[in-house]
C-alpha cells in the first residue's frame, strides 16, 4: 500500500509562478518545514490558490503529517470534485495514516480508501499511479476485509493497456505476493524485455533475493550492468557478493570500480562500498584487508552501528 502515496514523495511540476517555484525548491532540497511555514503564510493572502494548497498538502505528506494532509485534500476535492489527482492524493494520505494506525482504526478506514481510489480511477482512465495503488490495495488487504486478487488483476490489466511495462510489473507483483514464483518471474522478465530499465532489472533482482536465489539475482544484475553501464550496479553486485558470500572476486572488482568512478548521483556513499569490501575479506579470513576497509568505512561514518559491529567481528578472526 505504500505505493499509494508515492507521488507525495517527489517534487511536483513547476507552476511557472515565482512564488510557487520557490516553495517547490524548498521541497526539492528537503526543507519541508520551511516550505510548510512559507506556504501557510502565502495562503493566508491567497486562499484560493489551489496549486499552493495542493503543494502544502504534499509538504505535509513529506513530513508524515497525515491528518493535516487529509484535511488539505478534502478542501481541494470540495473545490474540484472531478479532479482524479485530488482523490488519489486523499486516498493515499488515508492509506498512509491507516498503515501507521491501530488495526481497528485502519479497518474502519478501508471503505473510504477503496472508494476514493476507485473514484480517482473512474475520473481519469489514464491515471497510472492510482491503478498501481489499487493493485497493491487489493493484494495487501485481507480477503475478508475486501481484498481480492481478481480485482488486483483487473487494475493490472488496465495498467497494461496504458503501459505494457507497468502492466507486467503489476502482474509480477500480484503473483509474487500470491506466492506463485513461476508466474512472477515470467512477468518481471517480460517487463525487462519491454523496457530494459534499471527499475525492471532491480525488481527481478529483488524477487530473486526474496526467493533465496542470490546467484540468479547477481547474474541478472551482471546483465543489467553490461547493458546499462550504470555505476550504481557495481555496488549492487558487490553488496550481493558480500551479503551472501558468493562470487567474492567479482564482488571485489565491482566495488573497487564503484569507488573509482563514484559520484554523489550513484546514491550509496563510499563508506558502504568500503564496508562491503570488509565483509568480503572477512569471509575470506583476510583479517588485514578486512580491517583496512572497515577502518575506511568508519573514518567516513564513525557512528554507524553496523560498521562498529563489523569491526568487532573482524577483530575476533
Instruction: Provide CB contacts within 8 A for 272, sequence distance 6+.
Output: 235, 239, 297
210 with 137, same domain: the answer is yes
236 with 213, same domain: the answer is no
How many Cβ atoms sit within 10 Å of the Cβ of residue 233?
Answer: 25
30 with 114, same domain: the answer is yes
- Cα–Cα distances (Å) from 194 to 160, 169, 184, 304, in that order, read 11, 11, 15, 40
Write down the pTM of the prediction: 0.86
What was the pLDDT predicted at 13?
Answer: 38
Instruction: Provide CB contacts within 8 A for 47, sequence distance 6+.
Output: none
What was the pLDDT predicted at 182?
Answer: 98
115 with 16, same domain: the answer is yes
User: What does R_g of the chain's alpha carbons equal in angstroms?
Assistant: 23
State how far the Cα of 87 lies from the Cα of 82, in Å rounded to an integer: 8
Residues 148-154: contacts with CB under 8 Å, at least 24 apart: 149/174, 149/178
Q: How is residue 4 written as a grid cell?
A: 499509494
Helix (H, G, I), strand (E, B) or coil at 216: helix
How many Cβ atoms sit within 10 Å of the Cβ of residue 301?
Answer: 17
What was the pLDDT predicted at 187?
Answer: 98
Q: Which of 229, 245, 266 is the last residue of a domain?
A: 229
103 with 138, same domain: the answer is no
- Where in the sequence is the domain holding 222, given as residue range(s)? 127-229
What was the pLDDT predicted at 148?
Answer: 96
137 with 192, same domain: the answer is yes
What was the pLDDT predicted at 21?
Answer: 82
135 with 193, same domain: the answer is yes
C-alpha atoms less than 13 angstroms from C-alpha of 224 in its C-beta half-sphere: 27
22 with 50, same domain: the answer is yes
116 with 209, same domain: the answer is no
CATH code, 110: 1.25.40.10
State how far the Cα of 33 lies from the Cα of 51, in Å rounded to an integer: 18
Instruction: Provide CB contacts within 8 A for 34, sequence distance 6+.
Output: 26
| Dihedral sign for Cα atoms in the order 120, 125, 129, 134 | positive
What was the pLDDT predicted at 9?
Answer: 40
**Furthest C-alpha separation in the chain:** 67
Residues of the chain with pLDDT under 50: 4-16
pLDDT tens-digit profile of 248-296? 999 999 999 999 999 999 999 999 999 999 999 999 999 999 999 999 9
State how far the Cα of 164 lies from the Cα of 152, in Å rounded to an integer: 16
274 with 200, same domain: the answer is no
77 with 35, same domain: the answer is yes
State how far the Cα of 49 lies from the Cα of 72, in Å rounded to an integer: 12
What was the pLDDT predicted at 147?
Answer: 95
104 with 178, same domain: the answer is no
State how far the Cα of 281 lies from the Cα of 291, in Å rounded to an integer: 9
Number of domains in the chain: 3
| Dihedral sign for Cα atoms in the order 208, 210, 213, 219 | positive
State how far the Cα of 62 lies from the Cα of 7, in Å rounded to an integer: 10
Q: Which of 124, 145, 166 is the last residue of a domain?
A: 124
Q: Which of 229, 258, 288 is the last residue of a domain?
A: 229
Amino acid at each position: 500500500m505504500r505505493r499509494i502515496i508515492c507521488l507525495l514523495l517527489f517534487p511536483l511540476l513547476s507552476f511557472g509562478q515565482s512564488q510557487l517555484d520557490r516553495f517547490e525548491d524548498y521541497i526539492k532540497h528537503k526543507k519541508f518545514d520551511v516550505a510548510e511555514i512559507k506556504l501557510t503564510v502565502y495562503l493566508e493572502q491567497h486562499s484560493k490558490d489551489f496549486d499552493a494548497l495542493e503543494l502544502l498538502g504534499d509538504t505535509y505528506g513529506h513530513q508524515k503529517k497525515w491528518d493535516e494532509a487529509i484535511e488539505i485534500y478534502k478542501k481541494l476535492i470540495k473545490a474540484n470534485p472531478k479532479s482524479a489527482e485530488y482523490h488519489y492524493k486523499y486516498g493515499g494520505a488515508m492509506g498512509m495514516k491507516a498503515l501507521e494506525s491501530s488495526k481497528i482504526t485502519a479497518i474502519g478506514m478501508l471503505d473510504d480508501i477503496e472508494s476514493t481510489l476507485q473514484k480517482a480511477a473512474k475520473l481519469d482512465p489514464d491515471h497510472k499511479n492510482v491503478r498501481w495503488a489499487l493493485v497493491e490495495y487489493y493484494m495487501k488487504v485481507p480477503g475478508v476485509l475486501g481484498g481480492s486478487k481478481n480485482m488486483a488483476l483487473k487494475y493490472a490489466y488496465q495498467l497494461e493497456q496504458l503501459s505494457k511495462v507497468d502492466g507486467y510489473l503489476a502482474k509480477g507483483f500480484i503473483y509474487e505476493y500470491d506466492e506463485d514464483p513461476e508466474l512472477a518471474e515470467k512477468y518481471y522478465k517480460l517487463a525487462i524485455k519491454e523496457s530494459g530499465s534499471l527499475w525492471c532489472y532491480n525488481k527481478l533482482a529483488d524477487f530473486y533475493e526474496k526467493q533465496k536465489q542470490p546467484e540468479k539475482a547477481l547474474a541478472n544484475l551482471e546483465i543489467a550492468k553490461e547493458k546499462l553501464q550504470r555505476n550504481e550496479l557495481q555496488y549492487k553486485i558487490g553488496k550481493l557478493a558480500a551479503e551472501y558470500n558468493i562470487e567474492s572476486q567479482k564482488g571485489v572488482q565491482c566495488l573497487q570500480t564503484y569507488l573509482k568512478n563514484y559520484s554523489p548521483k550513484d546514491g550509496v556513499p563510499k563508506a558502504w562500498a568500503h564496508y562491503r569490501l570488509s565483509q568480503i575479506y572477512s569471509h575470506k579470513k583476510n583479517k588485514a584487508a578486512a580491517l583496512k576497509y572497515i577502518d575506511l568505512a568508519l573514518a567516513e561514518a564513525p557512528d554507524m552501528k553496523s560498521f562498529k559491529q563489523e569491526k568487532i567481528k573482524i577483530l575476533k578472526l
